[in-house]
Structure 1
Amino acid sequence: MFSKLSVFGTTVVLSAAILTGCGSNGGSSDGQVELDFFTNKSESIDTYKGLIADFEKQNPDIKIKLDAPPEAETVLKTRLTKNDLPDLMGIGGNATYGELARAGVLHDFSEEEVTSSIQPAYIEMVNRLVGPDEKGVHGLPYATNANAVIYNKAKLKELGLTVPTTWDEFVLALEKAKAAGETPIYFTLKDAWTGMIPWNSLGGNLAGDEFAAQKNEGKASFAENYDVPADKMLELLEYGHKDNFGVAYNDGNNAFAKGESVFYLQGNWAIPEILKANPDMELGVFPMPVTNDPAQNRLVSGVDVLLTMNEETEHKEEAMKFIEFMMKEETAARYIEEQKAFSAIQNVFQEDPVFEGIKANFENGSLASFPDHYYPAGMGADGILQEFLMNKDKEAFLTKMDKEWEKVNDR
């Protein structure tokens, strides 16, 4: 998922936290240890509450305080600068995690038994975020996600359409939906991060897997590698509704649930929210076909949640107990079932039939990483993209993306 906990920190801020010593929020009263569990995923609050209740029944001497603030970026940044890092964290596998790991504030799980239960490919994915100079495993990939095209099965059938497997077929489907008086795509660009969903699908398939590394070496640029993705973003925008920039994510979920569009460019995390609004809705998903070669249209997937803990927590043993509980197969299976997510843990599979359209991608490895997970922390790509979609100045947009990348790296 493009994480709503957008990248925030700088190495200077994080290093300062280390130099002055990280505090722990774990307290105790009447023999009970309290641990602070921070998450950036508001969608997962109910699931976490249920899992925490089960853990506390099994461990009456440990209380888990769930912290899921609406402005997670600001809150976590403030806590870092105040040397008040949470005991436990469930955060996205993105550049923010990479900075935290490089700063040395996270526990190294290399020697922990739970690490061996994780699919190695996801360990490699998060290790790339940290970089080759930092050794160890500082975060445990837990839940994975995917960007996809969610569609209304009833509407697709009414329009006589089949699931497209090429870009041209997708555009033709959008045209037919529009001609029939339907809204082809429901955009929610009031929340800038939602624009990154199609952007990542396009970039993940068209810009090259090594774009970030090549960009840092001066061998690639947005101006050169993202020209076609930028054009296709503008083309998709033509199939939105009358207020693409006036509707936010939550309202978009409800609108799509009411049948106000045929397609919805989102991730698997939106499906529980849509079904809450309309439990009887028949949904399907497919990878956005961004090229005219079906074999080249990979599903963009990444680590949506990784579990980690503060290296300086005063209650490391109790914190590890909670992590071990979360990593159990039955716990992980419950999480992905409720969140319509996928698991990074071996032998835990997503069986919901709604995902039939992307099941093969996981089975045959036709996957691409989220490009923006490798963007420099603090770049603000979602806001730059939102601005581009509003003013449609492609050259200025690509130039700004290059400049902001370099500006952050030069700090």
Structure 2
Amino acid sequence: MNTTPFRRWTGTAAATAAAALALAACSGGGNTDGNVEITFLTSAGDLSIATGEALIEAFEAENPGIVVNLDTKPDGTDGDNLVKTRLSTGEMADVFMYNSGSLFQALNPEQNLVEMSDFAFADSLTDDFASVVSTENGLYGGAYGASLAGGIAYNGAIYDELGLEVPESWDDFMANNEEIAAAGYDPIIQTYGDTWTAQLFVLADFANVNAADPEWAQGYTAHEKFYAEQPALAGFVHHQEAYEAGYFNENYPSATYEDGARMLAEGTGVHYPILTGVMDTIRANHPDAVGDIRFMALPADDPANTSATIWQPSGVYIPQTTEGEEREAAQAFVEFVNSTEACEIFTAQGAPTGPYVNGCELPGDVDPLVADVQAYFDSGRTAPALEFLSPIKGPNLSQITVEVGSGIRGAEEAAANYDRDVENQAQQLGLEGW
């Protein structure tokens, strides 16, 4: 799916609504101390808490009639269960942060969440993000923070040294790898000591699959499309081709994610198929290399399909059980979270590893890698990662892709194994066609 052009939202509508709320709150409205009091639920990690506190502090400073209390939930399955339980029992916080995409769909949003298509920020959301917080009947979430891209982080200094251009096709990418190897560098970094990193040849290829077949995710969920068939087979095939060409670092079976970040930063390895969150590690451990690290989409066989796969940010939602003055206050808070002032707070809490999806512009001093991702947004060459469009993801993809990247199993067999790997999960979800 393409994205709409970025537009800066000034937040005037939110300020007006907030002023009206402040006046209403001063009349008491049945609340103690003349304040409207709401609760915001976020994740329990240190950064999540710090970000939530900073947002609340800034919001309350602009809205003296509203008090926002911070609550936290665990990550992972425990957090998923907590959210579903609180929604089903009517005990959900007035505003809550949660996944977008397939996990959002599992919340039965039309029954449980407040529809937001009339909120001031709605028209500023990218098409990609809006699609993962919407149903056929409306928009049910705002954005919470910036996006994350999956593709290839590469060392731009080595590219400049060798006079290489960013490849648009897989053949051009492999030709670059040949020149890099001839110059004495490891062309492709692999880090199977952290097995999850082996998945990127497949997961980051999804935007290319989507470009070739925009209905693929829907067909996959309906058990009509398969990884053992093109265009999705390409990710496995490319992984096998890269291994067979001998382009991986020698220690790839045991190297860790941090090893990969170090090799990329030092320039001993040039291409690292990974998420752009790798910049957090490079910024912390190799700050002098930040300006050298760039981003490219994983190249497709057909250059017309080469697109960046985007891990969308979480959404921020209001449950139907929030009513009256509390719902108005919750709306004002969600509006604020999607304002330019809030984007500045997100940026101050942690440098973004991808563009914002709600009209906010990136700061002028953003890392070159993030500016590269923005260019894909600007050209409309993006799609959400498959996990945002389909609830199906098999538990053994990491192990299966390690086998492909180690020469243990060929691409066709591995892809067929993965198609079987997802069957149990799809059946447990009760999906039609499985």
| TM class, shorter-length | 0.7 to 0.9
1:385 matched residue in structure 2: 397
Once the two structures are TM-superposed, the CA of residue 298 in structure 1 deviates from its matched residue by: 1.7
Q: Kindly report which structure 2 residues correspond to 1:1-12, keeping only aligned pairs within 5 A, or say none.
A: none
Give me the whole-angstrom Cα distance separating, in 1, the residues matched to 2:247 and 2:32: 57
Stretches of structure 1 lacking an aligned partner (at least 5 in a row): 1-27
Equivalent residue in structure 2 for 1:368, among 361, 374, 383: 383
Q: Give the alignment partner of residue 230 of structure 1, picking from 228, 232, 236.
A: 236
CA deviation string 1:267-302 (max 9, x = no partner): 3333244223222212211222122x4332122235
- Measured in 2, the distance between the counterparts of 1:370 and 1:224 equals 19
Give per-residue Cα distances to partners, 1:309-343, cap 9 Å, x unaligned. Answer: 33324743433232121111232255357313212
Q: How does 1:151-162 map to 2 (within 5 A)?
A: 151-162=154-165
In structure 1, what is the Cα distance between the partners aligned to 2:282 and 2:50?
Answer: 15
1:340 maps to 353
* Map of 1:286 onto structure 2: 296
Partner of residue 298, structure 1:
307
- Aligned partners of 2:142 and 2:241: how far apart in 1? 38
* Aligned residue in 1 for 2:282: 274
| Distance apart, 1:363 and its partner CA | 2.3
Alignment of 1:12-411 (within 5 A): 33=37, 35-39=39-43, 47-59=51-63, 62-65=67-70, 67=72, 69=74, 71-81=75-85, 83=89, 85-102=92-109, 104-120=111-127, 122-127=129-134, 130=135, 132=136, 135-142=137-144, 143-189=146-192, 191=194, 193-206=196-209, 208-225=213-230, 226-237=232-243, 239-242=247-250, 244=252, 246=254, 249=257, 252-253=260-261, 256-259=264-267, 261-281=269-289, 282=291, 283-291=293-301, 293-301=302-310, 303-313=312-322, 315-335=326-346, 338-346=351-359, 348-349=361-362, 351=364, 352=366, 354=368, 355-376=370-391, 379-381=392-394, 383-392=395-404, 393=409, 394-395=412-413, 396-401=416-421, 403-404=423-424, 406-410=426-430
How many correspondences in the alignment?
374
Secondary structure of residue in 2 paired with 1:386: helix
Aligned partner of 1:185: which letter?
Answer: I
Aligned to 1:3: none
TM-score (norm 1): 0.75
Q: Sort the Cα spacing of 1:231 and 1:367 in 2 relative to 1 into closer, same or farther, 3 A.
A: same
2:214 partner amino acid? D
Q: Distance in 2 between matches of 1:209 and 1:41?
A: 36
CA contact (8 A) 1:188 1:245 kept: yes
Q: Closer, same or farther in 2 for the Cα pair 1:317/1:32, shift >3 Å?
A: closer
Residues 1:104 and 1:187: Cα distance change in structure 2 (over 3 Å):
farther
CA positional deviation for 1:33: 3.8
Residue deviations 1:222-249, cap 9 Å, x none? 2223333211123345544455465554
Contact kept in structure 1, 2:150 and 2:311, CA below 8 Å? no
Secondary structure of 2:148's aligned partner: strand
Q: Structure 1 residues 240 and 311, CA, compared in 2 at 3 Å: closer, same or farther?
A: farther
| 8 Å contact kept, 2:119–2:335 | no
Measured in 2, the distance between the counterparts of 1:350 and 1:72 equals 31
Label 1:402 to 1:290 Cα distance change in 2 as closer, same or farther (>3 A). same
Distance 1:33 1:53 in 2: 14
Q: Is the 8 A contact 2:97 2:316 kept in 1?
A: yes
Give the counterpart letter for 1:274 in structure 2: I
Structure 1, residues 62-90: CA drift from partner, whole Å, max 9, x if none?
24426374x43323324533645444333
CA contact (8 A) 2:154 2:264 kept: no
C-alpha distance after superposition, 1:119-155 (max 9, x if no partner)? 455324533xx4x3xx222112453332232112223
AA partner of residue 125 (structure 2): I
After TM superposition, the score normalised by the length of structure 2 is 0.72
Unaligned runs of 5+ in 2: 1-30
Once residues 191 and 49 of structure 1 are traced to their aligned partners in structure 2, the CA distance between those partners, rounded to angstroms, is: 32
Q: Which amino acid aligns with 1:136?
A: G
The one-letter code of the counterpart of 1:210 is: E
Q: Distance in 2 between matches of 1:138 and 1:245?
A: 43
Deviation for aligned residue 1:386: 1.0
Question: What's the RMSD between the two structures over aligned residues?
Answer: 3.6
Alpha carbons 2:343, 2:360 under 8 Å: kept: no
8 Å Cα contact 2:121-2:358 kept in structure 1? no
CA distance in 2, matches of 1:44, 1:342: 18
Which letter maps to 1:407?
Q
